Amino acid sequence: GRMIVTIDGVAASGKSSVASGVARALGIPYVSSGLLYRAATLLGQEAGLDLNMTAPLLACLREHPLRLEPLAAGNRVWLGQRDLTPDLHSSAVDRGVSVVAAQPGVRTWVDDQLRALTPPFVAEGRDMGTNVFPQAPAKFYLTASPRVRAERRSRERPEDVAAIEAALIQRDALDTTQSAPAPDARVIDTGPLTLEQVITVITQQLPA
């Protein structure tokens, strides 16, 4: 049917791997909202913009439209023929993205693109269950301790675990206003669970 499953959570809680696995189990696409915030950040950085200023950033995004491709195997973001995806998980984008995502104008730009997608899909981010798809019938919120998340992420970043953990704690603090579990979300501590176990917990909770 037209099912929307929302999976929100803190930075590096495993949201995109979990969303991808749940989507594969259901045979539907998943949508990574964070990639759009990351792509807006990269575009602003490459254009040399002050990331605190909404108007020039939105003008830049109008001139250079980005397209989120919600592939089941992994979402991609395109700028014309250029695939931005490989550049979206750098530490520079990690550092800039919260400031970009805190701006209401940028959030509207992302939300409009997400709401234009045709269900069914699994939507992953910070505010999918609270703000973008409050009507979704199945909502989840993933947590894990900063150390566990830093250890997972250290396999994808060049910095050491302590530096990654410090950056994650800082990004959590900057993201708190846009990241909270919906009242009807099931909160899952992924710390003691494997990826497959988290996927199973979620798929077993879904309405028939």
Minimum distance, C-beta of residue 120 to ligand C5P, in the bound complex (Å): 19
> Within 10 A of 108 (CB to CB), how many other CB atoms are there?
11
Cα 102–Cα 103–Cα 105 angle in degrees, nearest 5: 145
As a residue count, the chain comes to 208
Q: Are 159 and 203 in contact (CB under 8 A)?
A: no
- Write down the least CB distance from residue 36 to ligand C5P, Å: 8
Min separation Cβ 34 and ligand C5P, Å: 3
Our CB check for ligand C5P shows the closer of 154 and 178 to be 178
With respect to ligand C5P, which residue has the nearer C-beta, 126 or 152? 126
Residues of this chain that bind ligand C5P (CB under 6 A): 11, 15, 33-34, 37-38, 97-98, 101, 125-128, 171, 175, 178
Of residues 26 and 93, the one with the C-beta less far from ligand C5P: 93
Instruction: Say if CB 61 and CB 110 are below 8 A apart.
Output: no
The distance of closest approach from Cβ of residue 185 to ligand C5P in the complex, given in angstroms and rounded to an integer, is 14
The distance of closest approach from Cβ of residue 44 to ligand C5P in the complex, given in angstroms and rounded to an integer, is: 13
The pair of three-digit structure tokens given for residue 109, joined into one six-digit string: 């730009």
Within the chain, how many helices (H) and strands (E) appear? 8, 8
Contact 38, 175 (CB under 8 A): no
Distance from first CA to last CA of the chain, Å, rounded?
10
Nearer residue to ligand C5P within complex by CB, 63 or 156: 156
66 vs 208 by CB, closer to ligand C5P:
66
**Choice between 102 and 193, CB closer to ligand C5P:** 102
Give the nearest distance from C-beta 48 to ligand C5P in angstroms.
Answer: 21
CB 165 within 8 A of CB 73: no
Q: What radius of gyration do the chain's Cα atoms show?
A: 16
Q: Please, are residues 110 and 36 in contact by the beta-carbon 8 Å criterion?
A: yes
